[in-house]
Amino acid sequence: MAELDEAARDQLRDSQFAYIDRTGERHLPIHDESHIRNAMARWDQTDFESKAARERARRRIVAAAKRHGIEVSDDANVAHAAR
């Protein structure tokens, strides 16, 4: 995965993150293929403020993966909404 230093991270738009918490901290960048794959792997390790926030982030990651032609396997945690 390409290194994302603080200056480069600050240049990303909010829409390029799967999750922004209520304090404005941005989590799980999804601006390129390597970061989408990383977000898929770390999604289940991220602390979300609510189930709704978790589901929004999941949908954003899956949508970004589809846009970049990344297959989301059925057994991936990020593939399915919480039941």
51 — pLDDT class (breaks 50, 70, 90): very high
**Two structure tokens written together for 57:** 């982030």
Q: Identify the sign of the CA torsion 41, 44, 45, 48.
A: positive
Task: Write down the pLDDT at residue 83.
Answer: 53
Residue-number span of the structural domain to which 45 is assigned: 6-79
The answer to whether position 62 is within a domain reads: yes
The answer to whether position 34 is within a domain reads: yes
Contact 33, 68 (CB under 8 A): yes
Task: Write down the pLDDT at residue 1.
Answer: 63
Number of domains in the chain: 1
Contact 40, 19 (CB under 8 A): no
The answer to whether position 1 is within a domain reads: no
Examine the pLDDT at 82 and tell me if it is beyond 90.
no
- What gap in Å lies between CA 57 and CA 27, rounded to an integer? 9
Cα of first residue to Cα of last residue in the chain, in angstroms, is 31
Residue range 15-20: average pLDDT? 97
The answer to whether position 13 is within a domain reads: yes
